[in-house]
Amino acid sequence: MKLISPPKKIYIADSKVSKAGNSEFKTGKGVFAGENIRKGEVIEVAPILILEFSDFIDTKWNLLFEYYFWMDDFVVLALGYGSMYNHSENANIEYRILKDEKIIIFTTIKNIKRDEELLFNYSGSFSKKAPLWFERKS
């Protein structure tokens, strides 16, 4: 699959998403639509770095941990804009990790208007009750 990096249809700007329901605390940067994008369009195909859990032995928690995709048996760091998309239970994009190809594909699941923030559900589920990786109990 051809890598799209960086896509012309998207850009980085200050996020409009609030963290932990606090409207005073924004998440930082986010990814936005640079033009109207139709449902079903691939907006980014980004390379990924795959880390095994054993790679985290003796590693201190740091800011980078907030940008990983925590899977059941491995961890992914998406390059490109991949780790800059923010969370919403009302997601407008989804992702698919192709571990063997070492890529992550972001696709729209709704029509998106220009300057709308692109958001996916961090739980990987469309269920509003699904816990996020940092909310799960061991």
d(CA 111, CA 40): 8
Could you say which DSSP state residue 117 is in? Answer: B
Q: Which two tokens stand for residue 91?
A: 């997601």
Please state the pTM of the whole predicted model: 0.75
pLDDT single digits (tens) 108-138: 999 999 999 999 887 765 545 544 444 444 4
Nearest to 68 by CA among 137, 133, 135: 133
Three-state secondary structure call for residue 56: helix
* Average pLDDT estimate for 4-8: 57
Fold adopted by 10-117: Beta-clip-like (2.170.270)
pLDDT the model gives residue 87: 87
Could you say which DSSP state residue 4 is in? Answer: B
| Residue spans per domain, the chain | 10-117
Write out the DSSP string of 76-128.
EEETTTTT-PEE-SS-SEEEEEETTTTEEEEEESS-B-TTPBPEE-TTSSS-T
